[in-house]
Amino acid sequence: MSLGLREILNKHNGILSGTSACPGCPENMAMRMLGMGLGKDVVLVVVAGCSSVIQGNAPYNAYNFPTVNVAFAAGPATAAGLARAYKQRGKNVTVVVWAGDGGSADIGFASLSGAAERNDNILYLTVDNEAYMNSGGQRSGSTPFGAITTTTPEGKKENKKNLPLLMIAHNVPYVATASVGYPHDYIEKLKKAKQVEGFKYVHVLTPDPYGWLFDPSKTPEVAKLAVQTCYWPLFEYYNGKLSISSESLHCLDRRTRRPIRDFLSAQGRFKRLTEDQIKILEQYIDNVWEKLKSMLDNQ
Amino acid sequence: MIRKVISGNEAVALGVKLARVGVTGIYPITPQTTIIEKLAEMRAKGEIETEIVRVESEHSAMAATFGAALGGVRAFTATASQGLLYMHEMIWWVAGSRVPVVMVVGTRAVGAPWNIWNEHTDFTSERDSGWIMAFASNPQEALDLTLQAFRISEDERVFLPMMVGMDGFILSHTKTNVLIPDQEQVDDFLLPRRQPYVIDPEDPIGMGNIFPPEGYMRLRESIDLALRNSEDIIKEIGREYNKKINPLGDYSTLNVSYKLEDADYAIVLMGAWAGDAMEAVDTLREKGIKIGMLRIRYLRPWSEKEIRNALKDKRAVLVLDRSTSFGRGGGPLYVEVKSTISDIVPQIKGVVSGLGGVTVNKSELLYIFNKFVEGLKDDVIWYYPKEVGKIELRTPRDIE
């Protein structure tokens, strides 16, 4: 059952007023929706990143959850410890790790992989703004090919590390992608993840106005464009089965995809891309979709 | 209470069992490995209900233990050497969070080059992290201090994590007679888990987010205060331990004196070589040399009062370090002792030895002590028990 707008607004709000987020911050949006999807009985583990700042200065906390902040690579293991403690004490708590793409794809990848392999009963969220935005916008393993960052002023030379597919390869019970441009889809996926026993992974695309170079009023629009142009596939992997979310179904056929240029031209970080480089990016997107299609065909 | 011949690592594992630990984050590293293997074995046999998280690194071992402690249960982990250094970031995080956690360190050299044998440098390099740090000198003490560590770190006047060191292989793998208390005795001594806060949906609080500068500094000061004030609490808990669990132990003081009262010369050291040193002291005493020994059992808190009292009227003091503080011309203990007594003891000398498993037994210690009494010229020397050639830096593998 999907939620109507009125119903959503009555739900637990993940974020309180007075955050330290930048205008147009997609992580603020994603956190607000987290509350709508998961409700109460949630404990949040926040690893170093924008989200350690957005919650504001102690003794205040703009997140509407009990929150533990930890060092970069410590999120999944800290959550595993918390989950085991609640199990010992017979308490039903959803332990959520909230990490950026740097924390997930790079410095924290070993502990993420370890928790997935152990099938720890936690929900891991990657909020992906495709660079180390909290330290000023340096490239990460999750930065796409061609994007300008402060450490790749000439444009990144390597493709994006595909974390959702890597997590599927870990054979965990639940993996999903989402975009802050599609709140209903994201909230539904969170609701579902909460019901699953074991390791859950949700990867949310969170376009950053300051790092991606677009106007802060356009965050939801860019987040939608990423999905419409098939740059960011929305899917769900549950019980060993992949399903493409309705917002992304048109991407299965190359002819019905919206041109990638619509997504690229909505932001400044791709402005140095040449025609040849756009082809490389298109090739990457094609490859991702071919992989997804072959997974669909083989199940 | 029963008496059993067990290794230091087994003694620690039994301590964890008796303390009814809720969650253990485990990762193997020599020479600590058999502690966590023993715990896994006990869990498999149903002898303990401890939840075991088999993590993928020591960084995660400390993180999982931290998480469990925040979640409201007694939490334990063990490590050594490179593993301790890999944990370093989380060790600070745990202390800064003021959450009670207990860890045992089977001490070992730190690379490069690879060396699996004993020294104390891994342990001493954590001395500024805000943990209470005790060091055992035999397997019995490893068990006793592990049990006391839970009580000390969970005392509301302390609320700090505590680590217990023991010499790798020398204690971790050597079996001796150990008095093992009964569960009832330990239950009577260890109070139910207490901690300053629990992360729980019922009481939603935030922990570890950005602190403004003054607030941050206040927190730093509170750690320092809690650590220094823990001295009296450690003694109080030690006396209770003597009474309730081990009447043969002596835990009413932080550090341990041996034949110091009337001594002209004093040796200061930490860890397992204290046993050999006591024998060497006895031998010198038989020859009429008035020498005694002070064994540092608590590196943190550093009991300035106790140490000054013990060494106040000595003619000369020799500090033995099994660890290094590069560029300082002496080990950490030497530096600490010197800063504590330099105004009351005319001569303070230091010896760095026993690194990376270099054997220093009674005969070597006798040699060192004799030289010391004769009057060491240098303030600090690096002592090798046997002739060792120079190492050419250009070809580090060629040892003459």
- Tell me the pLDDT tens digit for each residue of A149-199: 999 999 999 999 999 999 999 999 999 999 999 999 999 999 999 999 999
Which positions ≥6 away from B185 have C-beta within 8 Å? B1, B244, B245
What is the pLDDT at residue A103?
A: 96
Q: State both tokens at A278.
A: 């756009």
Confidence of residue A9 (pLDDT cuts 50, 70, 90): low
pLDDT, tens only, B117-172 = 999 999 999 999 999 999 999 999 999 999 999 999 999 999 999 999 999 999 99
Residue showing tokens 């106790």: B306
Residue in A82, A97, A113, A134 to test binding to B, most B beta-carbons within 10 Å: A82
Q: What is the pLDDT of residue A2?
A: 57
CA closest to B92 among chain A residues: A71
Q: Which tokens belong to B70?
A: 């925040």
Spell out a b/e string for B134-172, using b for 16 or more CB atoms within 10 Å of the CB, else e.
Answer: bbbbbbbbbbbbbbbbbbbbbbeebbbbbbbbbbbbbbb
> What's the confidence (pLDDT) of residue A254?
94
Query: What is the per-residue pLDDT for A4?
Result: 67
Q: Minimal Cα–Cα distance from B342 to chain A, Å? A: 40
Q: Do B204 and A73 touch (CB under 8 A)?
A: no
Q: What is the pLDDT of residues A61-92, one digit of tens each?
A: 999 999 999 999 999 999 999 999 999 999 99
**In this predicted complex, what is the ipTM?**
0.95
Buried b (16+ CB within 10 A) or exposed e, B48-86: bebbbbbbbbbbbbbbbbbbbbbbbbbbbbbbbbbbbbb
Q: Model pTM?
A: 0.96
Q: Name the average pLDDT for chain A.
A: 95
Give residue B271's pLDDT: 98
Q: What is the pLDDT of residues A237-294, one digit of tens each?
A: 999 999 999 999 999 999 999 999 999 999 999 999 999 999 999 999 999 999 999 9
Residue of A nearest to B52 (CA): A84
Question: Which of A74, A83, A110 has the CB atom closest to B90's CB atom?
Answer: A74
- Say whether B204 and A66 touch across the interface (CB within 8 A): yes
Question: With 90 as the cut, is the pLDDT of residue B28 above it?
Answer: yes
Position A1 confidence tier, pLDDT thresholds 50, 70, 90: very low
What is the pLDDT averaged over residues A204-232? Answer: 98
* pLDDT average, residue stretch B264-274: 98
Could you read off the pLDDT of A194-214 as tens digits, one per residue? 999 999 999 999 999 999 999
Q: Provide mean pLDDT across the span B182-203.
A: 96
Give the confidence band of A48 by pLDDT, cuts at 50, 70, 90.
very high
Phi (first) and psi of residue A110, to 5 degrees: -60, -45
Contact between A66 and B200 using a beta-carbon 8 Å cutoff: yes
